[in-house]
Amino acid sequence: MVNEAGAGHLGSELSCVDLLVALYFGELRVDPTDPMAPGRDRFVLSKGHAAGALYVTLAEAGFLEPDEVSTFMRAGSRLSGHPDRKAVPGVETNTGPLGHGLPVAVGMAKAARLRGEDWRTYVLTGDGELQEGSNWEAGMAAAQFRLDNLTLLIDHNRFQQGAPVAETNDLAPLADKWRAFGWHVVDIDGHDFDSIHAGLDVARATSDRPTCLMAHTNKAEGVSFMRDRVAWHHRVPTEEEYVRARAELTEGPS
């Protein structure tokens, strides 16, 4: 999809796609035939630049026709570089400017609590994104309101545009910061489905506080020559690289 479009955030999409698959095919109570059902669970992709991963997941889950993903970022396509809730079924809110998704998700979770409804809210952020202070204001509010119906998944791939997170504005110790803000924190392997689902089980069973799943991931997971290389945050493969990457993703690295 990214190869045909000539644009996209391939490294960021490959680092979080396993988390999206686990959510849509084993966790979220959503119905592609009724994407705005009032009792649905809400999912917010705060790292909106990884929209491509969300679109292919939504297509596999039945929200979109599979062939539509080939229109990604074409003129007139509703599948733009960042998700649009008015255009794409299954998208809960527009994201792109970083640091907005968690505050919106806190509002959603608080709304469910005020209405006495049992739907849950999930939000996926990047780690570099957490350098935005709005996330920490939202984190404090979520703990203050004891929003145990809110689950934050952090795509902790350690890289952001241009450099490693640690060299830009180091967030370590990241898990300890969330614990200090009153969250229940669980470390998971963001590329292992058993680990992801075990973390989600813990989140559902946790009461009186929100849960943060610290998903340890790799930039451009699945492609050996892209993996954990900052250049692949936002880069399109050459034709030779595309063929090699497809082979590795299909058969595994040599």
Angle at the Cα of 159 from the Cα atoms of 156 and 165, rounded to 5 degrees: 90
Domains and CATH numbers, the chain: 2-251 (3.40.50.970)
**Residue 171 buriedness (CB in 10 A; 0-12 / 13-18 / 19+):** middle
Q: Which residues contact 28 (CB under 8 A, 6 or more apart)?
A: 40, 41, 43, 122
* Amino acid 234: pLDDT: 86
Place of tokens 């979770």: 109
Q: Closest by alpha carbon to 181, among 216, 217, 135, 149?
A: 135
Q: What is the pLDDT of residue 251?
A: 83
Low-confidence stretches of the chain (pLDDT beneath 50):
254
Asked if residues 63 and 71 have their Cβ atoms less than 8 Å apart, the reply is no
Among 95, 213, 90, 96, smallest CA distance to 155 is for 213
- Please spell the DSSP secondary structure of 178-209, one letter per residue: HHHTT-EEEEEETT-HHHHHHHHHHHHH--SS
User: Which residue has tokens 């973390």?
Assistant: 199
- The predicted pLDDT at position 211 comes to 98
Q: Environment class of residue 238 by beta-carbon count within 10 Å: exposed (0-12), middle (13-18) or buried (19+)?
A: exposed
Gap between the Cα atoms of 152 and 45, Å rounded: 10
Locate 222 and state its tokens. 């699945």
Q: What is the pLDDT of residues 186-220, one digit of tens each?
A: 999 999 999 999 999 999 999 999 999 999 999 99
